[in-house]
Amino acid sequence: MSWLKKLTAGLKKSSEKVTSSLSGISRLFGKEKIDAASIEEIEEALILADLGVSVASDIAEALRGYKFAGEVTPEALRLALADQLTGILLPVEKPLGLTQDSPPAGGLHVILLVGVNGSGKTTTAGKLAARFQGEGKKVVMAAADTFRAAAIEQLAGWGVRTDTKVISGERGGDAAALAFRAIDEARADNADVLIIDTAGRLQNRSELMEELAKIIRVIKKQIPDAPHDSLIVLDGTVGQNAIAQMKAFQQTAALTGMVITKLDGTAKGGIVVALAREFGLPVHMVGVGEGADDLQDFTARDFAYALVGLDPETTG
């Protein structure tokens, strides 16, 4: 199955939530434009689909003056919605790439993965390793989630699957010290990329956020401009709670981008649009499954079309 088909299938719950809300507004259809009485109902429908109040309001208002080619039909409305969503998402469409033109000091590109428990950080680390290895890069992973033995074992498993060296320590060990050692070993191995997987931590636990800050300070002592990518991995199923997570981790980890996982298990895919508008940070990748190729570059148009239940390959 192609990635676009996986994306469309993975967003099926979300697209059904969007389209079912809109299809219930019967007065929308059969006219040449959307009347003022329908605007508020469209806004409410989009809020229910987790697009957020600000985005829903802007889209509803834009649809008021949208030039439809003929009567408003369910498909025409979905196309108009996809057009508006694409415009919002395009500014955050940015594939995750290495600094080819100006390599980091020492040639090592450091990627730090942060987020709450269960968001998919360890799996994302393994999938990123597979990606960069496939591009011919030498990759090292660091298991800086020292709280959870299963996390160390899980990352070690990805190391075997992707033929990637994994640096780990004892359970309960100092995560910052592990990150320090990982940089030393990655440099000694002439690695191109170091991916540091950190422990999941609730954004309202100050002591855990301080530990994350310590890891970052240690990284910067060795490589002042690192981490070169500070990525939050967000579980798409949490919906609007992702906003609070973003705010907390942004303060501690100076986030540079987002990876959004588990979108196949939720009807809350609209949160990607809300995050894009609220923070303006790159959405590098989205995930719709557990396989190594189920995490792919985020493409604004494809995501927008799939979110309203249109096939990106055959529509428009």
Per-residue pLDDT tens digits for 164-179: 999 998 888 899 999 9
List helix spans (H) across the chain. Answer: 3-10, 12-23, 36-48, 53-64, 74-89, 121-134, 149-162, 175-188, 206-222, 241-253, 271-279, 300-307
Q: Are 65 and 147 contained in the same domain?
A: no
Q: Are 76 and 171 contained in the same domain?
A: no
Q: Are 82 and 135 contained in the same domain?
A: no
Q: Are 78 and 225 contained in the same domain?
A: no
Query: Is residue 305 domain-resident?
Result: no
Domain end residue (candidates: 67, 92, 117): 92
Q: Are 71 and 109 contained in the same domain?
A: no
Q: What is the pLDDT of residue 99?
A: 57
Q: Are 176 and 276 contained in the same domain?
A: yes
Query: Is residue 100 domain-resident?
Result: no
User: Which one, of 221, 293, 238, 282, lies nearest residue 115 by Cα?
Assistant: 238
Query: Is residue 183 domain-resident?
Result: yes
Q: What is the pLDDT of residue 101?
A: 45
Domain end residue (candidates: 39, 57, 92): 92
Q: Note the pTM of the prediction, 2 decimals.
A: 0.91
Q: Are 137 and 284 contained in the same domain?
A: yes
- Pairing relationship of beta strands 229-235 and 257-261 according to DSSP bridges: parallel
Per the structure, the count of domains in the chain is 2
CATH number at residue 203: 3.40.50.300
Query: Is residue 312 domain-resident?
Result: no
Q: Are 21 and 114 contained in the same domain?
A: no
Query: Is residue 310 domain-resident?
Result: no
Domain span including residue 59: 3-92
Query: Which parts of the chain have pLDDT scores under 50?
Result: 101-102
Query: Is residue 99 domain-resident?
Result: no
Query: Is residue 315 domain-resident?
Result: no
Q: What are the counts of helices (DSSP H) followed by strands (DSSP E) for the chain?
A: 12, 8
Q: Are 122 and 171 contained in the same domain?
A: yes
Q: Are 203 and 278 contained in the same domain?
A: yes
Percent of the chain past pLDDT 90, that is, above it, reads: 53
- Alpha carbons 103 and 106: distance in angstroms, whole number: 8
Cβ neighbors of 79 (< 8 A, separation 6 or more) are: 310, 315, 316
Q: What is the pLDDT of residue 104?
A: 61
Residue 280 · residue 286 · CB < 8 Å:
no
Query: Is residue 308 domain-resident?
Result: no
Which residues are registered as beta bridge partners of 113?
197, 231
CATH number at residue 61: 1.20.120.140
In the three-class reduction of DSSP (H, G, I as helix; E, B as strand; rest coil), residue 297 is classed as strand
Q: Are 129 and 258 contained in the same domain?
A: yes
- Alpha carbons 196 and 255: distance in angstroms, whole number: 14
Q: Are 76 and 116 contained in the same domain?
A: no
